[in-house]
Amino acid sequence: MSKQGSSFKDVLQSIFATSAILIAFLLSVYLYIQVMGNPANFEGGNPEGQPLAGNYLGIIYKGGFIVPLLMTCVMVVIIMAIERWITLTRVKGRGRLNVFVRKLQTLLAEDKIEEAIEECDRQKGSLANVMKAGLIRWRELQNDKTLMKDQKILSIQKAFEEATALELPMLSKNMVFFATLAPGTVLIGLSGTVLGMIRAFAALARAGAPDAIALSTGISEALINTVFGIAGSVLALFAYNFFSNKIDNFTFKIDEAGFSLVQTFAASLKS
């Protein structure tokens, strides 16, 4: 992957992330007002009143204006999880990586550099891109009589490092959303919880008999925001750990394959 191609993909990723947040927010507001706030979900057809018994849409609506924000967070986590899954599936390329690496090693042992490069083109993954960069440099160094053996090995190692540096950012792109929303969703939910408790205690503090509707509304707001905040945080944390593990494993395979190819190249220089 070239630097220009990497920059173009960065722009596309930024546009995608911004669009995902905006769409998630607008959809959350629509669902909150039009679906959860539907008068049919409440006694007497009044959203200001009590939700119908067992009507969870009405109950969630009572969580207040924090609910759309929490819904947005959850939707963003889901969207980014889908995006990461698709991206990491694509960067693996075609077929199993272990089989691909063994095939490259076989071709290199037979000194079939061009065939190995063609195999990388067919595989079409990040690992294949890194291997291709090293193989192209290998081909250039085979006929180079001006460099010493150690210099050639360092040169091919540098080719691997540069290619890897271009591929790795794409693997970890958008992971920051999971890392941010894991604690952020809890804090937003906690804010809703505090606001709900303030409303509940305000109902208790009124002179005479407490307003039952205001009291129950405040408690519902507090509990619903707490549940949404915890659920969103757990989802974000699970996604972050899951994809971080996949990225680490894939990075290890790239490093392992690169080291193997360098060793094969070094051995070929002895003959």
What single DSSP character describes residue 42?
B
Contacts of 93 (CB under 8 A, 6+ apart): 100, 123, 124, 125, 126, 127, 128
Render pLDDT for 118-127 as a digit per residue (tens, 0 to 9): 888 888 888 8
Structure tokens at 181: 């929303």
Find the length of the chain. 271
Q: Is 2 helix (H, G, I), strand (E, B) or coil?
A: coil
CB atoms within 10 A of CB 216: 15
Total structural domains in the chain? 1
Beta bridge partners of 51: 42
Contacts of 84 (CB under 8 A, 6+ apart): 174, 175, 239, 243
143 pLDDT exceeds 50?
yes
Give the domain range for residue 142.
Answer: 1-271
Render pLDDT for 26-70 as a digit per residue (tens, 0 to 9): 999 999 999 988 999 888 888 887 788 778 888 888 888 889 999
The CA-CA-CA angle for residues 266, 257, 153, to 5°, reads 25
Instruction: Report the pLDDT averaged over residues 168-189.
Output: 89
Least confident of 5-14, 19-28, 108-117, 229-238: 5-14
Phi, psi at 144, each rounded to 5°: -85, 115
77 pLDDT exceeds 90?
yes
pLDDT band (50, 70, 90) for residue 234: very high
Pick from 120, 118, 152: nearest CA to 138: 152
